[in-house]
């Protein structure tokens, strides 16, 4: 299997994203005055994903090769499923983020919606720990989409 994958020139998409982003990146998450806690959760998810998935060093602006800025635009919790008594038992969080990537003179901007579905117990409201987990997961999913977008851009730039 390894021989087959290496012989056909297969490379994981993370390699293309790493080439585009570089080794050192600065992250900036815009803090929403209406909900500042979400910005902190989003920045943590962004930094963790960059470090674990792309092996990128998150650094200060002066030392960075590239910058990823995230603007928190909207968050909504939508009931998906009800039990027979009419209580919500399954929610979906939709978190809209605007990602901007800058490196040298190149700039990419993309609006992405991260979605995450989660159950809650009947007659319960969305507890703070469930809300935090949902925001982290939806931020991470939005970031995954953005990294895939950057990787695709990197593939086409490297193949030209």
- Mean pLDDT over residues 38-63, rounded? 84
- Residue 66 confidence (pLDDT) above 70: yes
User: Is pLDDT larger for residue 83 or for residue 10?
Assistant: 83
**Across the chain, how many H-helices and E-strands are there?**
4, 5
- The torsion region of residue 86 among left (phi > 0), alpha (psi -120 to 50) and beta comes to left
CA distances from 125 to 69, 77, 130, 136 (A): 32, 11, 10, 19
- Mean pLDDT over residues 86-91, rounded? 89
User: Is pLDDT larger for residue 91 or for residue 153?
Assistant: 91
* Paired tokens of 33: 């005055």
From 20-29, 68-77, 127-136, the region with the lowest mean pLDDT: 127-136
From 46-60, 62-76, 113-127, 139-153, the region with the lowest mean pLDDT: 113-127
User: Is pLDDT larger for residue 131 or for residue 82?
Assistant: 82
Question: Mean pLDDT in the chain?
Answer: 82
Beta strand extents in the chain (DSSP E only): 24-30, 57-58, 66-82, 88-103, 106-119
**pLDDT band for position 116 (50/70/90)?**
very high
Quote the DSSP letter at residue 111: E
pLDDT at residue 160, as a whole number: 47
- Residue 154 confidence (pLDDT) above 90: no
Residue-range domain boundaries for the chain: 13-154
pLDDT at residue 104, as a whole number: 87
CATH node for 13-154: 3.30.160.150
């Amino acid at each position: 299997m390894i021989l087959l994958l290496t012989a056909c020139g297969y490379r994981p998409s993370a390699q293309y994203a790493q080439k585009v982003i570089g080794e050192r990146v600065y992250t900036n998450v815009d803090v929403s005055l209406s909900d500042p806690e979400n910005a902190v959760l989003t920045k943590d998810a962004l930094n963790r994903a960059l470090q674990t998935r792309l092996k990128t060093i998150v650094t200060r602006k002066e030392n960075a090769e590239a910058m990823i800025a995230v603007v928190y635009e909207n968050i909504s919790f939508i009931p998906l499923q009800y039990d027979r008594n009419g209580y919500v038992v399954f929610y979906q969080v939709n978190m809209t983020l605007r990602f901007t990537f800058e490196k040298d003179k190149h700039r990419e901007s993309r609006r992405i919606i991260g979605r995450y579905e989660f159950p809650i117990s009947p007659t319960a409201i969305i507890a703070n720990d469930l809300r935090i987990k949902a925001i982290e997961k939806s931020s991470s999913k939005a970031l995954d989409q953005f990294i895939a977008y950057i990787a695709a851009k990197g593939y086409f730039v490297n193949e030209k």
